[in-house]
Amino acid sequence: MGDSGSLFLGYALAILSIISGAKMATALLVLGFPIIDGLWVVARRVARGESPFKPDKSHLHHRLLEAGFSVRSAVIFLWLISLIFGVLGIISTTYGKMVAIILLLVIMISVYLILFYIERRRECLNEP
């Protein structure tokens, strides 16, 4: 994305947070998927005794690609989820934002469980 794209997204997020009522909840909804993915990957690496800074292919977009998504469909899926929760963050009341954050967590856990199931099934099918 580069510096210009990152700066623009940060600026856009700041403006959306100012326009919205609950700033922290709006930021969590707009950036929820990437934040949860980053925290999940760091927690998995630390639990395995690896450096949290070591690169690997355990981020959500890599796992979607391994599950059979095309690059385009994986990006559209992630953008769509971020768009839905971003719009919810802008138009919702404070209570609605809290419900949306819980829904985001449930969806994220569901996506990880589905990907875990697909990966395990693929491993079982590949073993002799």
More confident residue, 14 or 114: 114
pLDDT, tens digit (0-9, with 9 covering 90-100), for 57-69? 888 888 888 888 8
Question: How many folded domains does the chain comprise?
Answer: 1
User: How is residue 22 written in tokens?
Assistant: 């609950």
DSSP-H helix ranges across the chain: 2-19, 23-30, 32-47, 60-66, 71-91, 94-126
Per-range mean pLDDT, top range of 15-29, 83-97, 102-116: 102-116
Inform me whether the pLDDT recorded for 15 exceeds 80: no
pLDDT, tens digit (0-9, with 9 covering 90-100), for 30-45? 777 777 888 888 888 8
Which structural domain, as residue segments, surrounds residue 51?
2-126
